[in-house]
Structure 1
């Protein structure tokens, strides 16, 4: 059955938004840098928030907001993942959950493995938890990127005490295979270290790729693992604070259960209401329409780059709406986003912020209208020809 793709809102309406994407730069800049999308909210979310405003329902999030139950249902429907409800807890956002977990599973000064190029807050979060970043770069192949299991093993042998995983990976869009996740879990289990998996882009895997939640990869993954995720990337809810933390076993669930009460209190009531609406079956058709729109733009970006920036290297992401594009061949420096912004008024994300592996790269958010995406790449193509 065909699915009608979502249509992005008109540019003149988007420019009335107050969010970072539309306020960081002036109206003469086309923004593609931050992970906000340009689509209308899922109708169930709009209704829930409108009703809350009508009621003046802006107080504290209640102790049983429905976050646990709706996440369990969503995971079962979308991923075939049967989650023990007693293993599910919530907080304000994914990075907040990550840092609170890290604080309780490592000692100050411990080294935590991250896999660059990776979402810039990973570095800050490890440091906030009192730990030290241990970089084990993803391996770049002709087909994309993969976990360097030998590098992880060497880091664990040298004393690293935890692994912070990004699955699906940001910025590359890589959906790690079940086999690589199971192998990672085996290493963590052998060395007795925990794995914390950020899975915020999980609902956005592009068929035929199948997203494997880390905690489903193997028995070892459940013994060592935590997952932290949110509806915020899929449903564009970053300003409404709500994320879920899942323990792989009773032992990890007990760690989450003993987190300070304030960790749960940081969940915003609008975030909780939006999460419940997003994870309800009523919103499944909206997700399917979003995926159809993103699939179109993912392929369109390939065509646009081939036509206007033929020296760029781009592997279509397995998941999400973020493209990791190597434009180093054009000689725009280690951080080409700066030159592109200055000379074309197109704002891409800065590759080096993701690690040294990002030099010469830009990250492009294609969760927008096809016309806006085309105009941006045409502008940058004109720069390349100048």
Structure 2
């Protein structure tokens, strides 16, 4: 079965964060939004059909996660990542960030040090700071145009008494899919210094060949109980609005402690539509995802090729995610000037690189999970504005 990803779907007036907040965020309705990380594509037909069927039932009472849902998840992890996970290891949550908040509350204490690698997804900073933990950062370094981990710095930071490390894999915003040897070094160092690993692997399914996502919990059986893995189908199948995710915790004591934290906050069930969508997506979404990845790769190719001869902007080609990290530093603009240039001159709304940390100053993040025609329009708007710069 073939799927089309060139359909332009009108998302305005649907309470869409990406589209209906353009005026308030960018100051003009004619700005093309290519920022927040959801897709402008329809979900797989099987998911849409399952949701429609559930709606037609007409009763939406309390819903529980049954073995069928567990089997859909474990089957997907086996199929996609060659990862055999026991159903008993799975807990459910409205979202990955919710889980990370709960994990920091559960497994660290006020004043504890928590490490993140920058630049990184903005909520990582909030997760640490809002719980009165000490933020410790290890900056990713760029080698021959590719972001890499600075393991000397990483270890030096762990030696400061870090209690937990939040891993982003695939990495948002730089698009790295960390390789086996990189993950092995992380695990070895966290094992050496007894550091809990909290892995955000929400983009795990959105990886381009020859790259391959490897769940960090697979690296070392002796460290499995020191790793908490957060995953969700929401990025993969464009289900963010249904708020459904899960967390894999193999250690029984940690799982029970995290579950107790969820219960204390009243977070103890998934919503009916989220359950329906997860099961349908994981059981019947494989071919659709193959088509999606082909389209996303075509979109990324277009952006990379469009800027390859431009001496003002450098593109970091993502190995995973549908997010393109763009370096505008050669323009010599301040961050506020850069934002104004893109919003007023190019009429495009991107994610402000500075929100990903100081290392993101001079950068912007573009979301290319939309029809190729939209990608072309957004790219051409930037290039046209650059010509006038």
Structure 1 and Structure 2 fold alike (TM over 0.5): yes
Normalising by structure 2, we get a TM-score of 0.93
Offset at residue 218 of structure 1 (A): 1.8
Normalising by structure 1, we get a TM-score of 0.93
Q: Would the alpha carbon gap of residues 248 and 337 (structure 1) be closer, same or farther in structure 2, given more than 3 Å must change?
A: farther
Tell me which residue corresponds to 1:276: 279
Higher deviation after alignment, 53-62 or 256-265 = 256-265
Offset at residue 351 of structure 1 (A): 0.2
Tell me which residue corresponds to 1:121: 123
Asked if the contact 1:67–1:90 (Cα under 8 Å) also holds between the matched residues in 2, the reply is no
Tell me which residue corresponds to 2:26: none
Asked if the contact 1:182–1:220 (Cα under 8 Å) also holds between the matched residues in 2, the reply is no
Asked if the contact 1:5–1:291 (Cα under 8 Å) also holds between the matched residues in 2, the reply is no
- Within-5 A mapping of 1:313-328: 313-328=314-329
Asked if the contact 1:241–1:270 (Cα under 8 Å) also holds between the matched residues in 2, the reply is no
CA separation in 1, counterparts of 2:49 and 2:198?
A: 34
- Per-residue displacement from partner, 1:293-350 (whole Å, max 9, x unpaired)? 011111111111225x442111210101000110111233225234201222100110
1:292 paired residue among 270, 291, 294:
294
- Per-residue displacement from partner, 1:61-103 (whole Å, max 9, x unpaired)? 3243743221111000011111121111111100001111111
| SS state at 1:115 partner | strand
Gaps of at least 5 residues in structure 1 are: none
CA separation in 1, counterparts of 2:3 and 2:340?
A: 32
Q: Would the alpha carbon gap of residues 129 and 47 (structure 1) be closer, same or farther in structure 2, given more than 3 Å must change?
A: farther
2:186 paired residue among 184, 190, 203:
184
Offset at residue 4 of structure 1 (A): 5.1
Q: Would the alpha carbon gap of residues 263 and 274 (structure 1) be closer, same or farther in structure 2, given more than 3 Å must change?
A: farther
CA separation in 2, counterparts of 1:189 and 1:381?
A: 47
Q: Would the alpha carbon gap of residues 361 and 176 (structure 1) be closer, same or farther in structure 2, given more than 3 Å must change?
A: same
Q: Would the alpha carbon gap of residues 127 and 268 (structure 1) be closer, same or farther in structure 2, given more than 3 Å must change?
A: farther
Q: Would the alpha carbon gap of residues 214 and 145 (structure 1) be closer, same or farther in structure 2, given more than 3 Å must change?
A: same
2:152 paired residue among 137, 150, 156:
150
Tell me which residue corresponds to 1:228: 230
In the alignment, structure 1 residue 340 sits paired with structure 2 residue 342: yes
1:372 paired residue among 371, 374, 377:
374
Tell me which residue corresponds to 1:109: 111
Offset at residue 232 of structure 1 (A): 0.7
In the alignment, structure 1 residue 7 sits paired with structure 2 residue 10: no
CA separation in 2, counterparts of 1:4 and 1:303?
A: 26
Q: Would the alpha carbon gap of residues 4 and 44 (structure 1) be closer, same or farther in structure 2, given more than 3 Å must change?
A: closer
Tell me which residue corresponds to 1:196: 198
Q: Would the alpha carbon gap of residues 98 and 225 (structure 1) be closer, same or farther in structure 2, given more than 3 Å must change?
A: same
- Within-5 A mapping of 1:157-172: 157-172=159-174
Asked if the contact 1:65–1:273 (Cα under 8 Å) also holds between the matched residues in 2, the reply is no
Task: Give the aligned CA root-mean-square deviation in angstroms.
Answer: 1.9
Higher deviation after alignment, 82-91 or 260-269 = 260-269
Q: Would the alpha carbon gap of residues 192 and 373 (structure 1) be closer, same or farther in structure 2, given more than 3 Å must change?
A: same
